[in-house]
A and B are shown apart, each in its own frame.
Chain A
């Protein structure tokens, strides 16, 4: 789902600037970033009204990147430097992973149905007659919808013989599979953390970049700069596919950034696959109808918040991140452990599990490389690393293939659910009823698997191409 559009690139530019200030010991200049990016007499980008608005938006983006919810602001005059110091002295608030930059949210439309100027103001007025809520009036020879009365049923659109009424989607709401993002009384989008599964779809969908993930990068940089304990990076299997570089080049670069050592999460994925295979054989022999994977944190969150009926079928095997963290702790007991992946939801998983201290995205890793002038192309590609077949965990059906490789038990009837969109969630709801033959179900929130994660560097098609070239494993096409 990662896309390289202007909203993404601005986020990367801000992350880069933030990292650079920290590394250069100039964090007190953090409030200047907005002025540098939107200087006096410059043109605000997109449809922003003025540079002051553009600066305000940049400020709140940085607030999110410091780990705060934009909605947590109590004093509008609190400087970003103050937020930065708060982020470094204690952990930032832990409710939710995604936050809405309300200044950037344009409150797309008040109602999903809009009367276009194709309206002829006809005598029959089918729209008015059809509307069950009396939300439509004739105003100056054209129909007009009162957004306060409109319930979005769409009957007026169907009724209009001129096709003059159009459906205007609200991209974030449209993309959210669990109705967790909604317009508040002011018409600004808000995230309900009781419902949100941190899949990141709204962030990718918003054309104004108004949804941000809360970053922990400043905390990671702080740990590295203290140099009292080793800071260890764990690279998710989707790392092959992120950069135009070999795995060895990426490892060299990550060490240049200050990480003391690098572990590949595909190593932990071997243990996940082995344990899950044993668990699958055990539960099937004991009469349970099916088992689902548990490595996708957005899916696990879904079963906890939205589909409790599916929860008993979710594997209790720890995710590759957790097994890898155990390997790290065996070698470096006092380490600060940082998971780096394409995933937004992983931060929520890490909070529940004390073995992992911080989570970064690949996008942040790339931005940090830029900030420190680390160029992957400049490194020799000698350290190939062990080629774990479990790198395929990054691609849809890869987890299933790995579990099947270790599995001994009743015949497998596997199902792959690729992408937690509304339709697949409805399928999962049916799955829980048990009226089917499947006995092993792999679920990934992102279409095509982690390679399409919202925190990736490249778009899914590029990531897949690079992954196939770099991972050393053959990955089947995604099952949709």
Chain B
């Protein structure tokens, strides 16, 4: 069984209001080729929004890598990249 890709969505109110609400539908919106290799989790606000250096919200971690200004398409691209990296190993 391949390694699961861990997607951690910031459930903080700032991220949610600034676009993160769209991730409520991530379960329905992930394409077939990756949906079984993704483990979606939530996380309480880790404070990425406290400094502008991290970019703009909403913030999501894909296998521990920070994605700023995240949206569904961006996440899908990141997940695919992780899948590809995983199989190259």
Contact = CB atoms under 8 A, between A and B. Distances in A.
A377 B24 CA distance: 15
A42 to B, nearest CB: 13
B23 to A, nearest CB: 9
14 contacts: A4-B21, A12-B18, A13-B18, A244-B11, A244-B16, A244-B24, A253-B13, A366-B17, A369-B13, A375-B12, A375-B13, A377-B45, A378-B44, A378-B45
B22 interface: yes
Contacts of A457: 16-17, 21
Contact of B25 (A363, A377, A465): A465
Interface string A216-234: 0000000000000000000
A12 B11 CA distance: 18
A462 B17 contact: no
A375 B14 contact: yes
Contact of B17 (A12, A378, A466): A12
Interface in A6-24: 9, 12-13
Contacts of A293: none
Interface in A435-480: 457-459, 461-462, 465-466
Contacts of B16: 243-244, 366, 376, 457
A13 B13 CA distance: 13
Interface in B22-75: 22, 24-25, 44-45
**Residue in B12, B14, B17, B18 whose Cβ sees the most chain A Cβ within 10 Å:** B17
B86 interface: no
B18 A462 contact: no
A370 interface: yes
Nearest to B49: A370
Contacts of B12: 375, 377
Contacts of A370: 13-14, 17-18
Nearest to A15: B17
Candidate in A12, A253, A369, A377 with the most chain B CB atoms within 10 angstroms: A377
A367 B19 CA distance: 12
Given A370-B14, A458-B24, A466-B24, A375 B45 contact: yes
Contact of A465 (B11, B18, B24, B44): B24
Interface residues of A, number: 25
B19 to A, nearest CB: 5
Nearest to A370: B14
B13 A462 contact: no
Chain B interface main SS type: helix
Contacts of B18: 9, 12-13, 370
Contacts of B21: 4, 244, 457-459, 462
A202 B15 CA distance: 26
Contacts of A4: 19, 21-22
Contacts, number: 59
Top 10 A-B residue pairs of the complex, sorted by shortest distance between their CB atoms: A366-B17, A458-B21, A462-B24, A4-B19, A370-B14, A376-B13, A375-B13, A377-B44, A369-B13, A462-B21
Nearest to A371: B14
A287 B19 CA distance: 51
Given A9-B18, A9-B19, A378-B44, A366 B13 contact: yes
Contacts of A375: 12-14, 44-45
A253 B13 CA distance: 10
B13 A459 contact: no
A374 interface: yes
Given A377-B12, A377-B45, A462 B25 contact: yes
Which of A243, A369, A370, A459 neighbours the largest number of chain B CB atoms within 10 Å of its CB? Answer: A370
A367 B17 contact: yes
Nearest to A378: B44
Nearest to B43: A377
Given A375-B13, A377-B13, A377-B44, 6 more contacts: A13-B18, A244-B24, A366-B13, A376-B13, A461-B25, A466-B24
A205 to B, nearest CB: 19
A342 B13 CA distance: 17
A23 to B, nearest CB: 16
Contacts of A377: 11-13, 44-45
Interface in A349-398: 363, 366-367, 369-370, 374-378
Contacts of B22: 4, 458-459, 462
Interface in A236-250: 243-245
A237 B12 CA distance: 23
Interface string A153-171: 0000000000000000000
A369 B24 contact: no
A375 B24 CA distance: 18
A370 B44 CA distance: 15
A256 to B, nearest CB: 11
Contacts of A13: 18
Contacts of A378: 44-45
A363 B12 CA distance: 15
A244 B24 CA distance: 9
A457 B58 CA distance: 14
A468 to B, nearest CB: 11
B13 A374 contact: yes
